[in-house]
Structure 1
């Protein structure tokens, strides 16, 4: 029986386990939260911090292969595992090029993949230099640790340079600045490569964000065939450039001319790929497990037009869910609740998916279901 270790026990890890349990694999997770989403279905849970090298070594010693569900983990630990002969996918080398956003952009540019203009920031004067090169607005980013809009600041004029610099650590964290791309759409492509070199690319997904957090995803994206082809080719090229094994999410901007620029990469299953569970013949989670075990990859074709909407916390308290009976009045809706014990503003608590004959009908159903569901309605008792 195969034993798989996952660094991280959040919703992505949980959905990996749910798909792979059909093949009777066993899972050991490492996560500092005793009640993390994957805890209830993992075979073993090591409660430890993500930078606890000894704990990661204990995990690796008891499984056949190690993977991870998010990229903000100890690179040194993965490198050590590999030197000891453990199988780690995606590899430490892949993570090293992706974990730092500046290095990620440099690597993309080196491999002739399209990216927005960018420079490294070591002082406030570097931001002023970027303005002279790119013009306003600018996007200031932390090179590590950012997600869902955290670690980003928009600079619209000279008076906002210093406040943005201070807000992102005033140089205590590595920073970079990018031109603000006048995109028409944000899209993403999920691509996968197996340990045996086989590659598979999912359809292009169109994404809408609210407060810098993914709100809705629709597939197929409303773009031209030529743009879709370019996006999928860029995603496949990213697999090769980063020597990625397993799922790789490539987030892209679509320019007014119909071309694409790479925004960011994630070496794992991704929120914008949740739609694949119901919408595709093979989900991104099953595909990731197949890839890291060297199994043949599955069909990535879209079964029907699909829409996904996130359930995002808007208050703090216990994660009590209500409204499911009303939400399920929409017959094509599938609801996923992640099992987090507490709700917080901006926290991803679940998602809703629907497939239908048209994107418009799928969106209508997920939006109706979304209005019916409340998470954390009751305030936490003092």
Structure 2
């Protein structure tokens, strides 16, 4: 039996545990919320803030290896854990290069991976200069802390600069400017690397966002074979460039000429990889656990065309699920409810997966099920 520590007890941590319990692994989670999604199935739960270095060290003292389900955690704390002999995957070094988006883009570029053009904005004056350099529209991003569209702003004209600057903290957080990419579509690709050296790449997934939150993922992505091969090549190069172990998700823009540009990376299992639970021979969660334990990786082959649709909160109230009986009308439908106590507008409360003969059939059934579920 392996003892595994997870920093974070959300739905990603929960799904890691669900897959790994087949191997009878023992899990200790660290999360400030007592009844977080992973709480009900974890063996131990340290209730502490994510920046509590002593609590993270306590977690490490109880396990053989530490991983995490989101990247906004203390690199320094991970370094201290590693220094005391407990391995962390992905490592503190990997997180260091990814956590700051400007540093991430520089690292990608230095390793020959394709990225949109970007500049740092160290002051308001520099921001104005950068925007004029790129032309409009242009993207303003916080270098740290952003997710689900938070930390991003589109600047359409010179007159919009001040409002965007103030909406992202008016310089309290480091900022960067990125060229606007008129992409055809957004795709993502998952790659996993085991500490035994195995590397496995999952199929390219096509993603549609609503209000900057992932709404639907369809697999396989509707792109050219050359574009697919390019994405696969980027995935293999990226996992080595960042010396990453475990899952790495690469979000990509597909350009009008069917090439890819790296938007962002996440060193962990990812929302756009939920489809792998039912859609692939081996899920991203199982392969993540295999990877950090140094085990051979499982097949990433797609079983059938697959659709994943997120269930996003649209009210602020105590979470009570209704409509499951109607949502299960089609037998191909699989529903995942995360177990969050409070439903909030824009919060990921669950997801639906459908595998079917065609993407069109799967989409119809996923959307039908989605229309029946209410919180």
TM interval, short-chain normalised? over 0.9
- Mapping for residues 79-158 of structure 1, pairs under 5 Å: 79-158=79-158
- Give the structure 2 partner of residue 379 of structure 1: none
Matched residue count = 375
- Give the structure 2 partner of residue 380 of structure 1: none
Deviations, residues 148-176 of structure 1 (Å, cap 9, x unaligned): 00011110000100111111111110110
- Give, in whole Å, the separation in 2 of the partners of 1:14 and 1:236: 27
- Give the structure 1 partner of residue 77 of structure 2: 77
Deviations, residues 322-344 of structure 1 (Å, cap 9, x unaligned): 00000001110000000000000
- Give, in whole Å, the separation in 1 of the partners of 2:355 and 2:100: 36
Cα drift, residue 197 of structure 1: 1.5
- Mapping for residues 155-174 of structure 1, pairs under 5 Å: 155-174=155-174
Cα drift, residue 346 of structure 1: 0.2
Q: Secondary structure in 2 aligned to 1:40?
A: coil
- Give the structure 1 partner of residue 63 of structure 2: 63
- Give, in whole Å, the separation in 1 of the partners of 2:235 and 2:177: 23
- Give the structure 2 partner of residue 378 of structure 1: none
Unaligned runs of 5+ in 2: none
- Give the structure 2 partner of residue 261 of structure 1: 261
Q: Secondary structure in 2 aligned to 1:85?
A: coil
- Give the structure 1 partner of residue 309 of structure 2: 309
- Give the structure 1 partner of residue 218 of structure 2: 218
Deviations, residues 106-160 of structure 1 (Å, cap 9, x unaligned): 0001001000000011112222222232211111111111000001111000010
- Does 1:243 find its partner at 2:243? yes
TM-score after normalising by structure 1: 0.98
TM-score after normalising by structure 2: 0.99
Which piece of structure 1 moves more, 131-140 or 163-172? 131-140
Q: Secondary structure in 1 aligned to 2:39?
A: helix
- Give the structure 1 partner of residue 4 of structure 2: 4
- Give, in whole Å, the separation in 2 of the partners of 1:198 and 1:175: 36
- Give the structure 1 partner of residue 24 of structure 2: 24
Deviations, residues 291-346 of structure 1 (Å, cap 9, x unaligned): 00000000000000000000000110011000000000111000000000000000
CA contact (8 A) 2:335 2:352 kept: yes
Q: Secondary structure in 1 aligned to 2:45?
A: strand
- Give, in whole Å, the separation in 2 of the partners of 1:369 and 1:283: 22
Q: Secondary structure in 2 aligned to 1:20?
A: helix
Q: Secondary structure in 2 aligned to 1:106?
A: helix
- Mapping for residues 219-234 of structure 1, pairs under 5 Å: 219-234=219-234
